[in-house]
């Protein structure tokens, strides 16, 4: 386990776990460690949070904050991030990821040149609409809770910055990309927009966060190693 002096723990989040699941797991382990020493932990010692949610299907760098370090959460939320993603073409998902309801759109296989042209449309400052299934609050409620109830969710578009976006591999229907983005960028929305630009539909079928500011996935621990 790699824990910095200021109470920051870097975790490589596994797929299938929510960010809160990781927080709860580490809090339970921390409580058990104190109890094993015959010590009752204080609320401050059990104060644990995270700095930037990862969707359950996603993996990668999750910053866990312990004790007073939880006060630094907003600082990390504002940092740039780097992701590696797999975009599946030909289908859309109502959640933008593999956990949603898939709808077939097209069997057309976009040529490499078309893919590169589409990718080039999404670098620099762009306008993006966050997905309905997101943690953004609408009138005090999380958007995903409203979407799950079948209610219409109207989220205003926002400007984000795509610092870099490159094709790592393209073997239809899977398009693998690597992208360095500003805070507030949704890769699920980016995948959908690329699919629209190609005219074939798309959703983000795999996602891995590798960098947050200067913090890298190579320095993170897996939960099983803690």
3-state secondary structure (DSSP) of residue 76: helix
Give me the pLDDT at residue 28, please: 94
Q: Answer whether the bond into residue 99 is a cis peptide, omega within 30°.
A: no
3-state secondary structure (DSSP) of residue 89: strand
The yes/no answer on whether domain 8-79+216-225 falls in CATH 3.30.2350.10 is yes
Is pTM beyond 0.85? Reply is yes
Query: Across residues 63-76, what is the average pLDDT?
Result: 90
Find all residues with CB under 8 Å of 87, minimum gap 6, and list them.
174, 175, 176, 177, 191, 194, 195, 202, 203, 204, 205
Q: How far is CA 43 from CA 29, 73, 80, 82, 119, in A?
A: 15, 18, 31, 34, 48
Give me the pLDDT at residue 147, please: 59
Dihedral over Cα of 18, 73, 140, 207: its sign: negative
Catalytic residue among 5, 12, 55, 154: 55
Give me the pLDDT at residue 130, please: 82
Listed range (34-48, 83-97, 147-161, 193-207) with the worst mean pLDDT: 147-161
User: Could you confirm whether 97 is annotated as catalytic?
Assistant: no
Provide the residue ranges of all domains of the chain, joining segments of one domain with +. 8-79+216-225, 81-212
Give me the pLDDT at residue 84, please: 98
Contact of 18 with 223, CB cutoff 8 Å: no
Give me the pLDDT at residue 48, please: 94
Within a 10 A sphere around the Cβ of 150, how many other Cβ atoms? 6
CATH T-level assignment (fold) for domain 81-212: Pseudouridine synthase (3.30.2350)
141-160 pLDDT per residue, tens: 676 666 576 666 677 788 99
Listed range (137-141, 179-183, 197-201) with the worst mean pLDDT: 137-141
């Amino acid at each position: 386990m790699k824990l910095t002096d200021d109470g920051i723990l870097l975790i490589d989040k596994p797929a299938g776990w929510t960010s809160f699941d990781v927080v709860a797991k580490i809090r339970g382990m921390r409580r058990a460690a104190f109890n094993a020493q015959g010590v009752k932990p204080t609320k401050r010692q059990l104060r644990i949070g995270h700095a930037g949610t990862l969707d359950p299907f996603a993996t990668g760098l999750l910053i866990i904050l312990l004790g007073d370090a939880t006060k630094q959460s907003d600082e990390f939320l504002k940092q740039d991030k780097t992701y590696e993603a797999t975009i599946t073409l030909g289908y859309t998902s109502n959640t933008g990821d593999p956990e949603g309801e898939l709808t077939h759109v097209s069997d057309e296989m976009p040529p490499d040149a078309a893919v590169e042209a589409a990718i080039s449309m999404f670098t620099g400052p762009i306008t993006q609409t966050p997905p309905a299934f997101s943690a953004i609050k609408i009138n005090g409620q999380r958007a995903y809770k409203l979407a799950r109830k079948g209610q219409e969710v109207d989220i205003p578009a926002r400007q984000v910055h795509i610092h870099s976006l490159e094709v790592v591999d393209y073997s239809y229907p899977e398009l693998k990309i690597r992208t360095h983005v500003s805070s507030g960028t949704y890769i699920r929305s980016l995948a959908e927009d690329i699919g629209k630009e190609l005219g074939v539909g798309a959703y983000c079928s795999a996602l891995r966060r590798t960098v947050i500011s200067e913090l890298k996935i190579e320095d993170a621990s897996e939960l099983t190693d803690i």
